[in-house]
A = this chain, B = another copy of it.
Amino acid sequence: MPVSESMNFLNEIAQRFPDAVSLAAGRPFEGFYDLDDVHRYFETYRRHLTDRLGGDEVAVRRTLLQYGRTKGIIHDLIAEQLRVDEGIDVDPDAIVVTVGCQEALYLTLRALRHDERDVLLAVTPSYVGVHGAAGLADMPVLPVRESSEGIDLDDLVAVVRDAKAAGLRPRACYVIPDFANPSGVRLSRAARERMLAIAADEDILVLEDNPYGLFGDPSGPPTMKALDERAQVVHLGSFAKTGLPGARVGFAVADQRVAGAQGDQGVLADQLAKIKSMLTVNTSPIAQAVIGGKLLENGYSLRAANMRETETYRANLARVLAGLTKRFGGVPGVSWNTPSGGFFLLLTVPFPVSDDLLELSAAKHRVLWTPVHHFYADSQPRNVMRLSFSHLRPDEIEEGLDRLADFVHEQSAN
């Protein structure tokens, strides 16, 4: 099954069964959303811009309403947020503001892809969108085994070396170190450091995708970009979970020195910007202003801005874990992992879960989940499903797990 079919199938089934409880959607909780925030954020950013531009209202209007800077207008605020929330110190000029994190991912892969020898590695199972972006960029994805610690680093070395031996150029390894999609696993600090050392030895980049990290325990390990001393990490950021998904704003931090067109040194961010100028030209400054206003109103801290959301996600995770124990504790062949945060976990069941079984679950039991084969970019059913709980209320979680238990018990009895 091509990746685009995969995304499509999953979206489409959710639309066909609107009364099903969705343990499938990776959406942020929307209970705190307020449309008036959009206006206020925009005005907050507008005032900031007016101050910065010395009261030049023509320039303010031009910045917010005309065509604009390819790399974006809130790069300085994002750099400040990264410093405050993540301890990442980066030149704002190395940041490209993008149409969601997905565009940042595509731009990075397209920039790294020179010819058919260039390949991407990805901890697998991995986020569906990475297979999609790599496919668009004509870049094959070599899977690296996941482990209970997040990534099998010995396998990473082996895959890189095998690829090189086969005449390929492994350019980067994609990873979500904090609460991976789909597994929910968080890499230890030691694993991050070893992965950076491997990247240095093997001369590959790390593509660090970080949509969920800010909801985790702040005493957890630093991001890989914060540990990065040799510009080996391209950090991909999303405001879809911490900001507002409807703004469709994300970014890439790409401070790698690279050879430019005339052989001069530039930063990778400028190469991403050149590709972006051919793809979406620039990210809507209106949408950027909404995110910029949220950053300004919260002292540049999205961790501070998301206190209620963080509490919601933690409570949801605890409820799901307790609910699984209550319904499946001691049931043969049923097990699950126990992430310490994030939006997802993996549930193992005593039968392979195909798309056909998902249809049955949706139609008969009114509950949706995600067959894990979609994260392998194939259609080979495995005994594992991803459960998502980020956007649900407590009663919906209980109802969803009841329905899921009915489905699993019925299938196990077959």
Contacts and interface: CB of A to CB of B under 8 A. Distances in A.
A246 to B, nearest CB: 4
Contacts of A46: 35
A164 interface: no
A170 interface: no
A121 interface: no
Given A278-B135, A287-B287, A261 B30 contact: no
A66 B246 contact: yes
A152 interface: no
Interface string A61-73: 1101111101000
A142 interface: no
A136 B279 contact: yes
A290 B42 CA distance: 13
Interface in A1-55: 2-5, 7-8, 11, 27-28, 30, 33-35, 38-39, 42, 46
Interface string A98-115: 011011001000100000
A324 interface: no
Contact of A287 (B7, B138, B245, B284): B284
Contact of A278 (B11, B70, B129, B244): B129
A132 interface: yes
A247 interface: yes
Contacts of A67: 27, 240, 245-246
Interface string A265-289: 0000000001101111111111100
A133 interface: yes
B278 A133 contact: yes
A248 interface: yes
Contacts of A283: 99, 248
Given A30-B61, A278-B3, A246 B284 contact: yes
A172 interface: no
Q: Which 8 A-B pairs have the closest CB atoms?
A: A132-B278, A4-B274, A248-B284, A65-B246, A99-B280, A284-B287, A246-B285, A67-B245
26 contacts: A2-B261, A4-B278, A7-B277, A8-B277, A11-B70, A28-B66, A33-B61, A35-B46, A35-B60, A35-B61, A38-B286, A65-B245, A99-B280, A99-B281, A99-B284, A100-B280, A102-B279, A102-B281, A103-B280, A110-B136, A132-B278, A136-B275, A246-B285, A248-B280, A248-B287, A249-B284
